[in-house]
Amino acid sequence: MADLLAQVRAWIAEDPDPDTRGQLDTLLRAAEAGAPEALTDLAERFGGTLEFGTAGLRGELGGGPMRMNRVVVIRAAAGLAGYLRARRGGLVVIGYDARHKSYDFARDTAAVMVGAGLRAALLPRPLPTPVLAYAIRHLGAAAGVMVTASHNPPQDNGYKVYLGDGSQIVPPADAEISAEIAAVGPLARVPLADEGWELLGEDVLEAYLTRAAGVVQPGGARELSVVYTPMHGVGLETLEAAFARAGFPAPVVVPEQAAPDPDFPTVAFPNPEEPGAMDLAFATAGRGGPGAGPDIVIANDPDADRCAVAVPDPAAASGWRMLRGDELGALLAAHLVRSGAAGGAGGATGAGAGGDTGGPGQDVFAASIVSSSLLAKIAARAGLAYQDTLTGFKWIARVPGLRYGYEEALGYCVDPAGVRDKDGITAALLVAELAAGLKTQSRTLADLLDELALTHGLHATDQLSARVADLSLITTAMARLRERPPSALAGLAVTAAEDLAAGSPALPATDGLRYRLSGDDVRGVDAARVVVRPSGTEPKLKCYLEVVLPVADAAALPAARETAAKVLTELKADIAEAAGI
């Protein structure tokens, strides 16, 4: 105990933040007085170091090396500065959202960069992550930092690092930066400038908006009624400006969630995927009364790099159905092909040559391995190349020749030449263009999903996401699956069980398991797939499920969807039992 308390005192002595100093001092005094809860809390905070990896840093705010705080951020910035100086330095662009401590972390990063002899520039105010990703290449920067925890709970914050190509870091850069961080000595030896960084003006945002508006075709349909929520984040002003510049009517904004609020008071988790997160948006959409509601509902997560869409559904209690990330991913892909924005031999729903996997110089579609296999079929039918990647846009954005990439967690890259990352603003513009065009034909997004199912088969996906308080439970579940892999799931034989930790020529090693399942003629199932992996940003074990069924005609769609739902439910139950979660 004496060593632990000495660590705490040493940390307090160099902590520049009065908030976390006071927090730790209170815990220290309680621990010295014999309070077991305080001692346990300190032991957890000082039981290691928050790990810097391909997601940068992300964790709960608070004092100590296992929390997000100014000490950890200054050390991370000093490590990044050392990495950049060894490679001739350059400009570092820094963005931040409206979470607790985001501005402090951004300013500290600027102070470290200038103190290290590098140039630094801060975005003018809290802005979406895609604006920062765009600014890196627009300004010719050597690197970028975005202070955000995206859709994590309010007690979290994070530190996302990009290099000069505008993409998030991947190995070996993450390990090299981590080594530089580990080599940082006492905080007092890290030079911190009081001034000298540039505060960027509105011209950076203007350039982003001009680029964003260019994702939609000029002169196209624009009549569309949209309800929008920024989920208490920073997306509202940017999305409204992008809609206006592209010629769309202003969306109706969910008033309770319009202003940035780091406490996210109306939601348990500020993530459109979470149960209840969209309730206020649906309530806003329903205020127009039957037949007078909006055409679609759009949501961004708090840093606006993700985009969620809901469509009218009379069968739902709210009157609305959230599209799964895979459904929106397929819709956007189909729209890009049909509108001619992505090259290829033909349309996504039947006019193409089919079968051609593309070649050098052609547009490439890409999706992570946990996303639906439908995108590969859309690409093939259109004569486009397709590539699987590991989870995360740090991998998707690096696909050579990328024209469009997505992953099922509501992330879409529709303009990789502008933003080499997921971008919830441009995705919202593109889905608005698609919905408006369909509206002129008296059709909807749901109609286009039916058309895709008739052409390529019904690709139904779902997810089992187990949030845990103890991370060791995730380790135990993965070990259990590796030791006793299932031979069948939902009555479908496991035909291939891949441990993705081994890596392959096609994919780098990652902590994940992939099961390919046989078809079932009795239920009319062509194939199914399950991928299991720990979340990279939250304490969750995630299981990604897909079942594919052929559909003969429109009349067969309801029965196919019912069968798919049953098989997905069985897959959930069986993989949960196999993993022990």
The answer to whether the Cα torsion of 237, 242, 247, 252 is positive or negative is negative
Name the one residue in this structure whose structure tokens are 């649906």: 282
Closest CA to 118 of 51, 192, 189, 179: 192
With vertex at residue 303, the alpha carbon angle to CA 149 and CA 84, rounded to the nearest 5 degrees, is 65
Percent of the chain with pLDDT over 70: 96
pLDDT, one tens digit per residue, over 91-112 is 999 999 999 999 999 999 999 9
Round to whole Å and give the CA distance between 154 and 37: 23
pLDDT tens digit string along 494-551?
A: 999 999 999 988 899 999 999 999 999 889 999 999 999 998 777 889 999 999 999 9
**In this predicted structure, what is the pLDDT of residue 302?**
98
What's the pTM value of the predicted model, to 2 decimals?
Answer: 0.94
Per-residue model confidence (pLDDT) at position 291: 59
CA–CA separation, 242 vs 209, rounded Å?
A: 6
Q: Which residue type, as a one-letter code, is found at position 143?
A: A
Integer angstrom CA distances of residue 178 from 50, 95, 161: 11, 21, 12
Who wins on pLDDT, 346 or 188?
A: 188
Lowest mean pLDDT among 167-171, 199-203, 449-453, 457-461: 167-171
The class of domain 225-241+255-456 in CATH terms is: alpha beta
- Evaluate if residue 361 carries a pLDDT over 50: no
- Per DSSP bridges, beta strands 492-499 and 488-489 are antiparallel
Residue-wise pLDDT for 113-152, tens only, equals: 999 999 999 999 999 999 999 999 999 999 999 999 999 9
User: What residues does CATH 3.30.310.50 cover in the chain?
Assistant: 457-579
3-state SS assignment for residue 266: coil
Among candidates 394, 340, 358, which has minimal Cα distance to 167?
A: 394
Distance in angstroms (rounded) separating the CA atoms of residues 239 and 425:
6
At which residue do the structure tokens 């103890």 appear?
470
Q: What is the DSSP string of 466-516?
A: EE-S-THHHHHHHHHHHHS--SEETTEEEEEEEEGGG--SSS---S-EEEE
237-255: pLDDT as tens digits: 999 999 999 999 999 999 9
Catalytic residues: 150
CATH class, 457-579 region: alpha beta
Task: Residue 36: count other Cβ atoms within 10 Å of its Cβ.
Answer: 9
Give the model's confidence band at 360: pLDDT under 50 very low, under 70 low, under 90 confident, else very high. Answer: very low
Q: Confidence band (pLDDT; 50, 70, 90) for 233?
A: very high
Model confidence pLDDT, tens digit, residues 33-85: 999 999 999 999 999 999 988 779 999 999 999 999 999 999 999 999 999 99
**Which part of the chain has CATH 3.40.120.10?**
52-200, 225-241+255-456
Q: Considering the chain, what percentage of its residues have pLDDT values greater than 90? A: 89
pLDDT tens readout for residues 3-22: 999 999 999 999 999 999 99
pLDDT at 350: 34
Range 52-200 classified under CATH 3.40.120.10: yes
Predicted local distance difference test score (pLDDT) of residue 11: 97
The chain-wide mean pLDDT, for the chain, equals 93
